[in-house]
Amino acid sequence: MKKFNEKLSGRVFFILALSSISMLALITVFIISRGVPLIANVGLKNFFGMTWAPSRGLFGITPMIIGSVSVTLGAAIIGIPIGLCCSIFLAEFAPVRMREIFRPAIQLLAGIPSVVYGFWGLLFVVPFIRNYLGGAGLSILAGSIILGIMILPTIISISEASILAIPKQYLYKEGALALGLTQLQTIRFVLLPAAKSGIVSAVILGIGRAIGETMAVIMVLGNSVALPTSVLDPVRTLTTNIGIEMGYAKDEHQQALFATGIVLFIIIMILNSTAQYLTRRKR
């Protein structure tokens, strides 16, 4: 009986552990099988075309790819420097009291619903841009600011962890300080290079978060499918395209949204795998 229990428990744990593999497989299969027929129907060239007009049977997603790339780039420009500064601050500069406030604050920043960010952006950031910089306010810039804030927790927590994970036994820091390097030189020439792979994967995961975000940007981007000419123009991203039209899309149109999902899925899987490869190599 005892032995039977032992064997059974090992099996049960194994079966439970298969859940994440099977779910990932299921998601991949269902998204792809629903979207691929449309891509096959209209052809790759039209699918990556310039015009999205479902009522006329045109499903070109290039404007949305440009939208996603521009908003994500903006978010990266805003979020990465601030995020890295914060992680250095947390790992090296922050007084203990400050750290005790900062960590839960970052956690709260990560927990705030994305719709709340969007709403705040709509009522706070968008009017600000409209009044001081011109345009409708609903713009790439507004989306970039909101996403720049939203990716901070990802960047800060992962890069801080990788700075703190630098092995103490090698006395990197102590050695550098003993050689007469200042605190900042130590950070710049010793700690950051040692934590490089962790920081790079933090940045990649942050970018992944920005590309995948939907509800926050849906409210501040303006969502027009036209090609933007400046950061004050409205755009539509891959995610908001799905978010806006999924509610009423039928048949071919719905398949086209799943096809949009495939593109998103592939981009995210590439980013994720790169980040995972980098952190694994470090170990």
Partner 1 sequence: MMKGSSRVTENIIKTLIWAAALSVLTVLVVIIAYILIRGLPVISWQFLTEIPRNMGRSGGISSTIVGTLMVTLVAIVIATPFGIGTAFYLAEYTRRDSMVTRVIRFSAESLAGIPSIVYGLFGFIFFVKYLGMGWSVLSGGLTLAIMILPTIIRTSEEAILAVPNLYREVSYSLGGTKWQTIVKTVLPSAIRGIANGVILSVGRCVAETAAVVLTAGSALRMTTSLTSPTRTMAVHFYILASEAISFENAYGTAALLIILIFLINVVANTLINRFIAKGR
List the interface residues with partner 1, window 141-160 (CB under 8 A). 149, 152
Residues 6+ apart with CB under 8 A from 140: 67, 70, 71, 74, 221, 228, 230, 231, 232, 233, 234, 235
> Which residue's CB is nearer to partner 1, number 23 or number 50?
23
> Which residue's CB is nearer to partner 1, number 100 or number 230?
100
What angle is formed at CA 114 by the lines to CA 110 and CA 118, rounded to 5 degrees? 130
The binder of partner 1 chosen from 88, 141, 142, 200 (CB under 8 A): 88
Site mask for partner 1 (CB under 8 A), range 233-272, x = bound? ------x--xx--x----------xx--x--xx--xx-xx
**96 interacts with partner 1 by CB under 8 A:** no
**127 interacts with partner 1 by CB under 8 A:** no
The binder of partner 1 chosen from 46, 49, 66, 102 (CB under 8 A): 102
Terminal Cα distance for the chain, rounded = 41
Of the candidate spans 8-16, 130-138, 165-173, 190-198, the one that interacts with partner 1 by CB under 8 A turns out to be 8-16
The binder of partner 1 chosen from 40, 50, 57, 93 (CB under 8 A): 93
**42 interacts with partner 1 by CB under 8 A:** no
Least Cβ distance, residue 196 to partner 1 (angstroms):
18
CB 198 within 8 A of CB 282: yes
Least Cβ distance, residue 72 to partner 1 (angstroms):
12
Residue 179, phi then psi, degrees to nearest 5? -75, 0
**49 interacts with partner 1 by CB under 8 A:** no
Q: Which of residues 166-225 bind partner 1 (CB under 8 A)?
A: 180, 182, 184, 205, 208, 211-215, 218-219
The binder of partner 1 chosen from 58, 66, 109, 133 (CB under 8 A): 109
> Which residue's CB is nearer to partner 1, number 16 or number 44?
16
# of chain residues touching partner 1 (CB under 8 A): 83
Residue 58, phi then psi, degrees to nearest 5? -105, 120
Least Cβ distance, residue 253 to partner 1 (angstroms):
14
Least Cβ distance, residue 229 to partner 1 (angstroms):
26
Class of residue 249 by CB neighbours under 10 A (exposed 0-12, middle 13-18, buried 19+): middle
Class of residue 181 by CB neighbours under 10 A (exposed 0-12, middle 13-18, buried 19+): middle
